[in-house]
Structure 1
Amino acid sequence: MYVNCHVECLCDNKELMTCVRSRFTEDMKSVPIAHRETQSWSDKFALGAVRFLRSVMDLATGSRHPVERVVGGSKQVVEWRMNGSKWLVRFIFLESVTGVPRMAGEILRHLRSLRRMRMDNGWIETLIGESFNERMYLLTFLKLYSPGIFMRTMILGAQGVFFNGFFLCYLVSPKTCHRFVGYLEEEAVIAYTRALQDLDAGKLPLWSRLKAPEIAVQYCNMPEGHRTMKNLLLYVRADEAKHREVNHTLRNLDQHIDPSPFLSKFNDESKIHPSKGLENLKGVGWRCEDAL
């Protein structure tokens, strides 16, 4: 059983629930890569759309994924070297895109709440928190890299097409849209994980001495001794993993009557429930019966 709770008036956007930055934990170092298998035509459409968007993003940012090639009769993995600038370009493009869907969904749910004169059961607050979180990380990476006119034009065009397309899709099938965002966040977790692997492997030597921008220190509440570029990526990846869980879970719920389980209080403390932090993290999302 669950008890839906009202969200208190927030005087500071730092308190929005979808960011797990309250303290640096060991859980951030072990965020897993996860993929939810498709179970319906809706899921397949969402996954296909994400893969298409990823190919566009790869082309726009000049980044590539490792590929397998047959060399001398045996398969070998060919890795493409990504430098710090390319990673930052990818992050900026990624954050500028992932911040769009939640706002489109929030607008539509807000208008529906006004029309029906009913509470939205925490969905609006959840989506606002996620969009704010993505925007703050975009502003953080912009402190480290300033994109040129071409990149800004690409972002402008992508945002214009993406917002309107997602807005229309959310009118038709909000479940498909939340699954799309879940798959999109899966890609984000993969991107930040690979960047961390490059950093640990010594492929990004400048980042080993780079400090996190002050905006990230304040927003993430980063403690002394953890204000490095590596730890910034750990914070961002942890939030992306949480967004992945949230949207896969929201896709599984009844879009009209179920509350957001991430803003609910549960009576039965003996069972594992969704939370605001990394504890009980489910990369593929919660089933409806488990989430509520």
Structure 2
Amino acid sequence: MSHHTAAKLSRSIISRLGTRGFSVNISETTQTFARLRPAFAIRNLSTSVSPNGSPKDEKNNSISSDKSQNDKIIPSYWGVAPAKLTKEDGSAWKWNCFRPWETYTADVSIHVTKHHKPENFRDKFAYWTVQALKYPTHLFFQRRHMCHAMLLETVAAVPGMVGGMLLHCKSLRRFEHSGGWIKALLEEAENERMHLMTFIDLAKPAWYERALVFAVQGVFFNAYFLAYLASPKLAHRIVGYLEEEAVISYSEFLKDLDNGSFENVPAPAIAIDYWRLPPDSTLRDVVVVIRADETHHRDLNHYASDIQCQGHELKDAPAPIGYH
């Protein structure tokens, strides 16, 4: 069969079959895609938004949200909407980093000059380790209290997180309760982080100070992690002495505020809401409550070390949860 004859025969067959064999029924395709569309949406889409821009849940119902409270609500396929929180006066709660039930009034009557006298080699090692670490920072920051406080808080928030994490893993391994110490240590870490969030509102660290935070935090996190694995009682004692130095640093801060060497600016809004301070509070009021927090952290860590030094585990003594 010649090439011309074969081509003519092919065109004849195609014309006879028409759309029955070589075209797609559009209506059937549309119905098939409609059936498959939910599966494609679940696999390939992270959000599903209604035509008017409001988020929808999996039943294709719009989720009601208060746009005036938060203009940056992210529409979600999963239907997760932020709760509408208000203050006692009915005004909107603007903080996402903490919630109204996490606020508290600081106990400023605590003894701020208490000191744990080193009694054995472990205590002396912890004490002199802290003393060796404090001099470089004092030499670097001098009387720049705000920058010193920011570095201090980025480091002080590490031990509670490391200790809580390791106790959490220990609880899982041993199938036992922690006596509340996981929560207590994580509360300490979160409280220290809120100190940092407060100071960030008042001062902006320079690039070299940020670099210093990266370096110090990286070294300290790993060193403290290994120390806690080796000896939790030593790790808690070190933190107890670190908190003693933090109390001294904030006391020096208060002296400079009182003698006019440092400007006593109005307290940031985040501090007023977190510590339930009066609306007209100043930086001095903020430093007083932060110093009280550090004093409580001092006592908690010395207490944790004492429990273990007496031959007990932390779970044997109830943790002082909420002890800021």
Choose which of 110, 116, 125 in structure 2 pairs with 1:36: 116
Cα distance in 2 for partners of 1:198, 1:55 equals: 19
Cα distance in 1 for partners of 2:101, 2:169 equals: 24
> 1:39-92 CA distances to partner (integer Å, 9 max, x unpaired)?
11111111111111102322332x2xxxxxxxxxxxxxxxxxx3xxx1101100
1:22 maps onto 2:104 in alignment: yes
Q: 1:26 to 1:87 in 2, by over 3 A?
A: closer
Read off the aligned partner of 2:221 and give its amino acid letter: F
Match of 2:38 in 1: none
Q: CA deviation at 1:230?
A: 0.8
1:246 maps onto 2:300 in alignment: yes
> Scaled by the length of structure 2, what TM-score is found?
0.65
Q: CA deviation at 1:117?
A: 1.4
Q: 1:14 to 1:56 in 2, by over 3 A?
A: farther
Read off the aligned partner of 1:252 and give its amino acid letter: D
Match of 1:181 in 2: 239
Cα distance in 1 for partners of 2:196, 2:224 equals: 20
Contact 1:181 1:244 in 2 (8 A): yes
Match of 1:108 in 2: 166
> Scaled by the length of structure 1, what TM-score is found?
0.71
Q: 1:124 to 1:224 in 2, by over 3 A?
A: same
Structure ranking higher in strand proportion: 1
Cα distance in 1 for partners of 2:223, 2:152 equals: 17
Contact 1:121 1:258 in 2 (8 A): yes
Q: CA deviation at 1:101?
A: 1.1
> 1:236-290 CA distances to partner (integer Å, 9 max, x unpaired)?
0110111011111011112354233414xxxxxxxxxxx937xxxxxxxxxxxxx
> 1:189-221 CA distances to partner (integer Å, 9 max, x unpaired)?
1111111112112222x22xx111111111111
1:221 maps onto 2:221 in alignment: no
Q: CA deviation at 1:222?
A: 1.1
Match of 1:66 in 2: none
Cα distance in 1 for partners of 2:212, 2:106 equals: 35
Q: 1:15 to 1:214 in 2, by over 3 A?
A: same
Q: 1:223 to 1:47 in 2, by over 3 A?
A: same
1:141 maps onto 2:199 in alignment: yes
Contact 2:107 2:289 in 1 (8 A): no
Match of 1:120 in 2: 178
Match of 1:55 in 2: 135
Point out where structure 1 has 5 or more consecutive residues left out of the alignment: 1-11, 64-81, 264-274, 278-292
Contact 1:24 1:222 in 2 (8 A): no
Q: 1:256 to 1:276 in 2, by over 3 A?
A: closer
Match of 1:193 in 2: 251
Give the length in aligned residue pairs: 223
Contact 2:266 2:282 in 1 (8 A): yes
Q: 1:15 to 1:176 in 2, by over 3 A?
A: farther
Q: CA deviation at 1:25?
A: 6.3
Contact 1:100 1:131 in 2 (8 A): yes
Q: 1:132 to 1:257 in 2, by over 3 A?
A: closer
Cα distance in 1 for partners of 2:178, 2:289 equals: 29
Cα distance in 1 for partners of 2:124, 2:175 equals: 35
Q: CA deviation at 1:106?
A: 1.0
1:231 maps onto 2:285 in alignment: yes
Cα distance in 2 for partners of 1:99, 1:26 equals: 20
Point out where structure 2 has 5 or more consecutive residues left out of the alignment: 1-97
Cα distance in 2 for partners of 1:95, 1:56 equals: 16
Cα distance in 2 for partners of 1:13, 1:51 equals: 37
Q: 1:129 to 1:54 in 2, by over 3 A?
A: same
Cα distance in 1 for partners of 2:147, 2:254 equals: 15
